[in-house]
Amino acid sequence: MKASIVVFPGTNRERDIAIALQRATGRRPDMLWHRDTELPAGTDLVVLPGGFSYGDYLRCGAMAAQSPIMAAIRAHAERGGHVLGVCNGFQMLTEAGLLPGALLRNASLRFLAMSCRMKVERADTAFTHHFQRGQVFSATMAHGDGNYFCDAETLARLEGENLVALRYEGENPNGSLNAIAGILSPNLRVLGLMPHPENCVDPLVGGTDGLPMFTSLAESFAAA
Partner 1 sequence: MAAPAAVRPDFLKRGERSDMKLRVTVFPKACVLDPQGKAIERALGGLGFSGVGEVRTGKVMIVETAETDAARAKAAGEEMARKLLANTVIESFTVEIV
Residue 169 is among the residues annotated as catalytic for this protein: no
Residue 87 is among the residues annotated as catalytic for this protein: yes
Nearer to partner 1, 107 or 156 (CB): 107
> What is the amino acid identity at position 108?
S
- Which residue is catalytic, options 76, 82, 198, 200? 198
- Which residue is catalytic, options 60, 130, 196, 200? 196
- Give least dist CB 46 to partner 1, A: 18
- Which residue is catalytic, options 87, 116, 150, 200? 87
Nearer to partner 1, 148 or 214 (CB): 148
Nearer to partner 1, 58 or 75 (CB): 58
CA distances (Å), origin 91, targets 15, 27, 64, 68, 135: 19, 27, 9, 17, 25
Distance CA 153, CA 151 (A): 6
- Give least dist CB 87 to partner 1, A: 17
Nearer to partner 1, 108 or 187 (CB): 108
**Residues making contact with partner 1 (CB under 8 A):** 9, 35, 54, 58-59, 62-63, 66-68, 94-95, 100-102, 104-109, 147, 149-151, 175
- Give least dist CB 25 to partner 1, A: 31
Distance CA 32, CA 130 (A): 27
- Give least dist CB 138 to partner 1, A: 27
Residue 116 is among the residues annotated as catalytic for this protein: no
Rounded to 10 deg, the angle between the 211-220 and 14-25 helix axes is 60
Catalytic residue set: 87, 196, 198
